[in-house]
Structure 1
C-alpha cells in the first residue's frame, strides 16, 4: 500500500463504530498487513502480548484496547503497561498504541515521539505511523499529512470525472482536464487563505448551488470561473448570478479562455466537496506539486503519493550551487546596511532555471530559501515592511508534460503568497496578491529540443512584452523581463536518467541531437548526460553554474571517457559533487535509487571545489584541488579498457560459453544418475562455476570431453544421448557458426579451459558486500561466462582481488548494472594499478589469501552470499580480510588508508604515473580456443 491508500484506509476505520475486539486487527490491515498474518495474530499463534486486550506484531507494534473509565486503567496507564512490557522489548516493537475508542495515545519507542488525540482524529497523524507499512517517514509528511490527503482526494475526483467524461481523456482534451484541475487547486487554496472573501467560499458555494446528483455542478463551476476572469468594472454588463459575483477577479490566464467544465456525477460532486473540506492553508507547495503529478498520468497513478522529493535532498543541490554563498555573504555583511543592500540587489537578479522541472520542487524550494534570506536582510535594515524584490519570473522551468508544468506555476504562486504572509503579514500579502501577474515562466516542451538561451536568455536581456496568458506559452520567451541586468544564472534539477537500453527511439534521437558529430558513441550514454552536455553548451554563451541529480553511471565505467572530455572541451570542470546516496520516495519498502549530484561551471569561475559524502547519515565536506570525472580529488584522467594488465599481472579471461540446449550441463541429481549407470564418466565431469554457482553455492556440472577421447566417451550410457541432443539443437540454429558446431557436439562454443587450479571472479555482485566475490577453485572446475578466470594457482592474486582497494577501484571505473557492481576484465582488472611486488610481498599476500580461504572453510556449508552479508559476516573472516587489507595497503603507502577517498586518490595517482610511462595497447577481441 502507498501513503494515499493508507490514509484512506485509516480514515474509513475512524469513521466506523468502534469495536474493541476488532480494532487492533483492522488497524493492522489498514497498514497493508496480509489476511494470513492477521489471521495468525487473531488465533493467537503469533500474538505474544502480555498486556490484557493486547496484540503484538513482532518488529512492528504492540497495541491494546482498554475500556473507557475502566477500573483496569486509563489509556495513559495502558500505554505505560505496553512500554514496560517484557514482550514489547523481546519482540523489538517499534510502536506502542493504546485506545479506548474515545482517545488514543501512541509512541515511537526509538525516537520517543508521541501522539495523543481523540480517537476520531487519529487519521490526522497517519504520517506518524507510516513506518508500520515499511515506508520511511519524512518529516514534512509526518508533521503535516495534508499533501497526501489532498493528492488522494483529487485523484478520486480526477478518475471519476474521466469515467463520466471519456472525451476529456483524449489527447486533444486532456490539457483542458489538467487545466481544470489546476483551477480547482487554486480555488481550494484561495478559500482557506482569505484570498477569497469568506472562509470556505468556493466549496460552500458549490455545495449550496449544485444539485445533490451533480447534474448542474459543471454549470455552477463554469459561472464561478467566468466571474474570476472578469474585472469588477466589466461585471455590470456580464449579468453574473449573485453567488458568483462574490468571487474576485484573478486574471493571470488561470481562468481565461474556455470556461467549459466536465460533467459531474453524484460521486464526483461528493469527491470535490471532500477535497474542499481539507485545510488547504497548510499545503506545502514543494511537497504537494510532486505528489499530485501522478494524478494526471495513468501509468504513474499506481505510485500515487510517492512522488515526493524531500527538502534536504533538494538542498544538497541548491546549497552548494548558490545558497551557501548567499548565506556566507549575509554572515559577512552583519549589520552593515550597504553590504546588506548590495546582497539584496544581487539576489533580485539571480535566475534559477530547472530544465526538467516536473511540478517545480527545485524552483519552489529555491524561491522559499531566497525569500528567507531576503527577509533577514530586511529585518537587519529595519525594512521588514518592504515587498519582495525577488520576482517569480526569475524562476524558470521546462517540463515535457502539461499538467506538472501547470502545477509548477501554481506551486510558485502559492509559495509567493505564503512567503508574503510569513514575512509581511496577511494584510499586505492579500493586498498585493490579486490580480495574478500575467507573465509565463514555466514552459511545456521537450527540454532537449528547445533553445535554453531563448527560454532563459543571457544576462542583460530587457523586457519588451508581457504575455496575456499565465498558463500559455508566449511566442518569444526572451521578451519576458527577468529583472536581472548583470545577474547570475543557476541551472539545477533532477532530469530522467534512463540507460540506453531503456530509452525510447525518440529519446535516443534526443541524445543524438545533443551530441551530434562530437561522438559516435552517444548510444552508450544515459539520457541524463544530454542535460549535462546542453548545460555546458549553455555555459559557453551565458555565465552559469549547473548541477543535476544523476545516477552514478555517468561517473563510472565506459561513459566517463565518452562524456567528460566533451564537457571539458567547453571549458567546464566539476565544481562540486555529492557522492553516492539514496534518493528515496514514499514507496513501500523502497530503498531508493543510488544517485550522485554533480555541479559544473566554467573553470575560470570556480573559486572552491567541494566534495560532499555521506557516512552513517552524516555529511562530510572536503575541499579538493580538483574533482575528476570519477568524483575523486585527483587529476582529470579517463580510465579506458586495456588488453594487457597495466602492472604486468596475469591475464584475466572470460569464462567458457556454450550453446547446448542444456544438455552438456548437469544438476547434482543428473550427475548422480549418470555416474550410477556409467561410473567411468566421472573423468569427464567438472564442477561448473558461474556467478550464481560461486556466490550462492549452487552445484552444477559440465561434460568436458577432450577431442581425442570423444569416441570412448560416446560409448558411455547417458553421454551419447546428450551429445546427440546437443547436435540437434545446434543444427536447428539460424546461425551458421552454431550449425557448424553441430559436427562437434562435445565442444563448447568458446572454451579456454585448462585443467589446473584457477581463480574465479563473479561478473556481478551486490553493492552491499564489502569485498568482491572470488575464489580459488579445483583443476576440474569449469569457469562459465560471464564470470571471469585467471588460469594461475597464485593465491597472492586472490588477495589482490579480495581486497577493499580492488573493490573500490571496480566500483569506480567499471560501472554498474542497476546498483550492483559489474566486473570487467579489460576495464577493471587490466587497469588496476599495483606497485612492484617483491617475493616477500607475494608471500605475505599468499598467507592472507590462505587465511581468508580457511576462514570460509570453517563455516562450511555457508556460501559466499551467507558469509559476506555485511550484517552477519563471521568475525574470523572479517579479521582475515582486514589483515589482508592492512598488508596490501602498507605495500602501497606504508600504512592503512584513512578511507575510500584516500584509496582512490592513491590508485588514480599510481594509474596516472603508470599510463604516462606506457603506450596503451589497443583492446583486441578476447582470444578463443576450442576444447
Structure 2
C-alpha cells in the first residue's frame, strides 16, 4: 500500500463504530498487512504479546485495547513489556476507543489524540508499512489526505465521463482539477469572501444525486472570469448565489467553463475534499504528489512522489542560497548593505527546465522570501510588498497538468508567504486578480530554446501571451530583461539510461549531440540537460546544478559527455557525491544519485559534499573537482590497450560463439558417457562470472586440432560440433561464418601453463571486495570473465584491494547497480607506483593469505564468503592486511577514506598519462627528424 491508500484506510477505520476486539487487526490491515498474517495473529500462533488482550506483530507494533480512562497506564505497560523488547517492536499503541496514544520506541516521540482524530497522525505511523517517515508528512498530513480525496474524485469522474479520459480532452480534465484545487485553497484562506464559500455553495445548490453539480460548478467558474463591475450586463448576468465569488482572472477560469458530469459518489468525494483544511497545504509537497493523480502510469505510486526539502536543498543551498545567507550575515544591521542585498535578490532568476509540479521553484521562492523578510525586519520595513517576482521563477515541463500545478503552487506559495511575513490583510488586498504573465512553459525542454525562455542579462523577449493557465505547447511570454541579475538553473531531470530511452528521447539527444560526437548513444537522458545548460552558459554567466544518476560521472559516459561540457568553458562548481534520492515510497526506495553543478565561470574554491559512514554530510573545499567527482583537475580516463603501470596483461576469456553446444552442464557431460581418458583429453572446467562467484559447475569441449579426428569418434561430440558448424554458417556475422571451419573450437583458445588469475566481468556492489581468485591450468574462463594467464600472484592482491574496487566503481561504471569490470578501462588504467621486489613479495604473501583463508571455509563459495553480514573474520583480516600493505606502498599509511584513495589514484594517473604523452611526443619528434 502507498501513503494515500493507508490514509484512506485509517480514516475509514476511525469513522466506523469502535470494536475493541477487532480494532488491532483492522488497524494492522489498514497499514497493509496481509490476511494470512492477521489470521496467524488471531489464532495466537504469531502473537507474541504478554499483555492481556494485546496483539504484537514482530518487528512492527505492540497494540492493546484497554478500559476507559487508563490509556496512559496501558502505554507504559506496553513500553515495559519484555515481549515488546524481545519482538523488536518499533511502536506501541494503546486506545480505549475514546482516546489513542502511541510511541515510536527508538526516538521516544509520542502522539496523543481523540480516537476519531488519529487519522490526522497517520504520517507518524507510516513506518509500520515500511514507508520512510518524512518530517513534513509526519507533521502535516493534509497533503496526502488531499491527494487521496482528489484521486478518488478524478477516477470517479473519468469513469462517468469516458470522453474526458481521451487524449484530446485530458487537458480539459486536468485544467478542471487545477480550478478545484484553487477553490478549495481560496475558501479556507479568506481569498473568497466567507470561509467554506465554495463547498457550501455546491452543497446547497446541487442535488444530492449529483445530477446538476456540473451546472453549479460551471456557473461558479464563469463568475470568477467576470469582473464585478461587468456583472450587471444582461448578457453576463449570474445567478444571485454565484455573485459572491470574486473575479480571479489570470486565465485560471477563462475559456470554456464546461465541467464533467457528476454521480452521487463523485459529489460525495468533492464534499469530502472540501471538508479538509486547505489552509495548511504545502505547495512544494502537494504539487509533487498530485501530479500522479492525472498520470495513468504513475497513479499506482500515488503519494510517493514527494521529495524531501533537505534533498532539494542539497541542490539549492550551494547553488545560491548559502551565498545569500552569507551576504545577510555580512550585512548585519547595515541598512545600505541590506538594501543592496534585497535589490540583488529581486533580480535573481531561478530556472528549472524539468520542473514537474514546481518543487525546486517553490522551495527556492520560499527560502528567498524568508531571507527577504529578515532584511525587512532589520530595516523595520515589514509592511513592504515583496520585491521578488514570481516571474523570476521559470520552468519548462513536458506535461500540461504538472505545469499547471507548478504555476498554482507558486501562486499559493506567494500568498502563504505574504500572510506569514506581511499579514492576512495585506496578503488578501493584493492577491486578486491573478496576473496573467506566464512563467512555466509546457514543452520539451531538450527541443526548446532556453535563451528565449530565460533570456541572458541585458536582453528581452516578447512573445504574444495567451494566459497563465491556458498556455499552448511551446508558448513563451517573457517580456522583461532582468538587467544585471543572476541566473541559476536547477532541477531533477529524467535520468533514463540509454537502454530505456524511447525513440523520441533518442531523437532529443541526437539533436543535441550528433554534431558534437558520434558515441552519444550511450549517454543517459539527463546528459541532454547538462549540455543544454553548458550551451546556455556560453551566452550568459550562470551556474547550473542538476540531480543526476551518478552513472554520468562513471565509466564510459565520462569521456563522452564531460570533454564537451569542459570545452564550453564550464567547470564543475560543486558536487554532492552519491546518495539516495528518497521519496515516500515503501522501504524508503530511492535511486542513487549525485548532484553536479557546472559554472561559467566556476568559483575559485569548489565545494565537494559527501556522506560519511554514519550518514553525516562532510564538506571539503577544493581548487578543482573532476568529472568523477573527485578533487583534481579535469582528467578523463580513457581506454588503454596495455597496462600503464607495468602490470601483467589482462585479456578476455574465451568466447564460445557456439549456440550453447561447446558448453556443458554436469548432466550434459555425463550424457556423453566419456571414458576418463576422453574426458581428460576433450573436456575442461570453465568459469564465467556466475560459475566463479556461486560455485556453479560448467564444462566445455576443449579439442585441439590434433585431437579432432579422435574426438569425432564420440557420437555426442560429433553431433555438437555439427550443430556449432550449422549455427555459425547461418550467422549474419561474417566472423562467425569464418569460424565454421573450426567448429570444434571456441573463438579464442587461451589457456595457462600454470595458473589463471581471474576476475568476473559483473559482480554485486554489495560485496566489500571485487571477486577474484586463481584457477588451475586444467580449467579455463569464458568471455564473462577476464584472465591473467600465468601472471605473478601479486597481481591478484591488487585486484582484491579496496583501492582497485573504488577505481573500478568510478572509471568503469556499473551495469544497473552491479560492478561492470573492464580490462581496458579499469585494469590497464589502474595507477600503481613502481613496485620493488620486496613490495611484490609482500603482496604475493597477502594474496596467498586470502586464498588460504578461503580454503579454510571450503566448500564455501565466493558468494557465501563475501556476504558483508557473514564474512569470516580470518578472511576479513586477510583483506585488511592486504589493504594495509598496498596502501603503505602508495602513501606510507592507510588512507582515511575512499575520497582520499581516489584523489591519490587520479593524481598518479595524471602523472602517468602525462609521462606517456611526453614519451609519445618525443618518439614522434625523433621519427620526423629521421624522415628529414
Match of 2:127 in 1: 131
Is 1:247 aligned to residue 238 of structure 2?
A: no
Structure 2 counterpart SS, 1:759: strand
1:337-381 deviation digits (Å, cap 9, x = unpaired): 111111001001100000110100000000000000000000111
Is the 8 Å Cα contact of residues 657 and 748 (structure 1) preserved in structure 2? yes
The structural deviation recorded for 1:39 is 2.5
Match of 1:160 in 2: 156
Is 1:395 aligned to residue 393 of structure 2?
A: yes
- Structure 1 residues 678 and 45 mapped into 2: Cα distance closer, same or farther (>3 Å)? farther
After TM superposition, the structure 1 = structure 2 runs for residues 642-661 of structure 1, keeping only pairs within 5 Å, are 642-661=640-659
Is the 8 Å Cα contact of residues 605 and 624 (structure 2) preserved in structure 1? no
- Structure 1 residues 838 and 465 mapped into 2: Cα distance closer, same or farther (>3 Å)? closer
Is the 8 Å Cα contact of residues 439 and 466 (structure 1) preserved in structure 2? no
Alignment partners' CA distance in 2, 1:16 and 1:582: 39
Is the 8 Å Cα contact of residues 758 and 789 (structure 1) preserved in structure 2? yes
Of stretches 124-133 and 309-318 in structure 1, the one that deviates more from structure 2 is 124-133
Count residues in correspondence: 917
Alignment partners' CA distance in 1, 2:589 and 2:792: 39
- Which of the residues 369, 377, 380 maps onto 1:379? 377
Match of 1:700 in 2: 698
- Structure 1 residues 563 and 872 mapped into 2: Cα distance closer, same or farther (>3 Å)? same
Structure 2 counterpart SS, 1:548: strand
Is 1:335 aligned to residue 333 of structure 2?
A: yes
- Which of the residues 199, 202, 221 maps onto 2:198? 202
Is the 8 Å Cα contact of residues 20 and 101 (structure 1) preserved in structure 2? yes
After TM superposition, the structure 1 = structure 2 runs for residues 139-154 of structure 1, keeping only pairs within 5 Å, are 139-154=135-150
Match of 1:548 in 2: 546
Is 1:187 aligned to residue 217 of structure 2?
A: no
Is 1:84 aligned to residue 55 of structure 2?
A: no
Alignment partners' CA distance in 2, 1:822 and 1:474: 45
Please provide the CA RMSD for this pair. 2.2
Alignment partners' CA distance in 1, 2:342 and 2:241: 44
- Which of the residues 593, 608, 612 maps onto 1:611? 608
Of stretches 86-95 and 384-393 in structure 1, the one that deviates more from structure 2 is 86-95
Match of 1:561 in 2: 559
Structure 1 counterpart SS, 2:266: helix
Structure 1 counterpart SS, 2:515: helix
1:285-329 deviation digits (Å, cap 9, x = unpaired): 001111111111111111111111111111000001000000000
Structure 1 counterpart SS, 2:916: coil
- Which of the residues 107, 115, 121 maps onto 1:119? 115
After TM superposition, the structure 1 = structure 2 runs for residues 490-505 of structure 1, keeping only pairs within 5 Å, are 490-505=488-503
Match of 1:912 in 2: 910
Is 1:318 aligned to residue 312 of structure 2?
A: no
Match of 1:305 in 2: 303
The structural deviation recorded for 1:744 is 4.2
1:615-644 deviation digits (Å, cap 9, x = unpaired): 122111111111111111111111100110
After TM superposition, the score normalised by the length of structure 1 is: 0.95
The structural deviation recorded for 1:91 is 1.8
Of stretches 789-798 and 362-371 in structure 1, the one that deviates more from structure 2 is 789-798
- Which of the residues 262, 265, 268 maps onto 2:266? 268
- Which of the residues 274, 284, 302 maps onto 2:282? 284
The structural deviation recorded for 1:733 is 4.9
After TM superposition, the structure 1 = structure 2 runs for residues 576-725 of structure 1, keeping only pairs within 5 Å, are 576-603=574-601, 606-615=603-612, 616-671=614-669, 680-716=678-714, 719-720=717-718, 722-723=720-721
Alignment partners' CA distance in 1, 2:605 and 2:372: 25
Is the 8 Å Cα contact of residues 149 and 273 (structure 2) preserved in structure 1? yes
- Structure 1 residues 463 and 892 mapped into 2: Cα distance closer, same or farther (>3 Å)? closer
The structural deviation recorded for 1:578 is 0.6
The structural deviation recorded for 1:740 is 5.7
Alignment partners' CA distance in 1, 2:162 and 2:410: 31
- Structure 1 residues 607 and 912 mapped into 2: Cα distance closer, same or farther (>3 Å)? closer
1:585-605 deviation digits (Å, cap 9, x = unpaired): 2222253111111111113x5
- Which of the residues 869, 872, 879 maps onto 1:871? 869
Match of 1:572 in 2: 570
The structural deviation recorded for 1:79 is 1.7
Alignment partners' CA distance in 2, 1:50 and 1:370: 54
The structural deviation recorded for 1:257 is 0.9
After TM superposition, the structure 1 = structure 2 runs for residues 769-918 of structure 1, keeping only pairs within 5 Å, are 769-918=767-916
- Structure 1 residues 699 and 464 mapped into 2: Cα distance closer, same or farther (>3 Å)? closer
Is the 8 Å Cα contact of residues 467 and 474 (structure 1) preserved in structure 2? no
- Structure 1 residues 9 and 840 mapped into 2: Cα distance closer, same or farther (>3 Å)? same
After TM superposition, the score normalised by the length of structure 2 is: 0.95
Structure 2 counterpart SS, 1:173: helix
Is the 8 Å Cα contact of residues 642 and 921 (structure 1) preserved in structure 2? no
Match of 2:231 in 1: 235
Structure 1 counterpart SS, 2:293: coil
Structure 1 counterpart SS, 2:901: helix
Alignment partners' CA distance in 2, 1:68 and 1:668: 69
Is 1:44 aligned to residue 40 of structure 2?
A: no
Structure 1 counterpart SS, 2:587: coil
Match of 2:67 in 1: 67
The structural deviation recorded for 1:684 is 3.7
The structural deviation recorded for 1:527 is 1.3
Is the 8 Å Cα contact of residues 456 and 478 (structure 1) preserved in structure 2? no
1:715-753 deviation digits (Å, cap 9, x = unpaired): 457545544555565566555654565554432233323
Structure 2: runs of 5+ lacking an equivalent: 922-932
Is the 8 Å Cα contact of residues 306 and 585 (structure 1) preserved in structure 2? yes
Alignment partners' CA distance in 1, 2:464 and 2:682: 83
The structural deviation recorded for 1:204 is 1.3
Alignment partners' CA distance in 2, 1:305 and 1:14: 21
Alignment partners' CA distance in 1, 2:715 and 2:463: 89
Of stretches 644-653 and 873-882 in structure 1, the one that deviates more from structure 2 is 873-882
Alignment partners' CA distance in 2, 1:39 and 1:743: 66
Of stretches 737-746 and 754-763 in structure 1, the one that deviates more from structure 2 is 737-746
Is 1:344 aligned to residue 342 of structure 2?
A: yes
Alignment partners' CA distance in 2, 1:736 and 1:476: 48
Alignment partners' CA distance in 2, 1:860 and 1:281: 66
Of stretches 300-309 and 76-85 in structure 1, the one that deviates more from structure 2 is 76-85
Of stretches 267-276 and 730-739 in structure 1, the one that deviates more from structure 2 is 730-739
Match of 2:468 in 1: 470
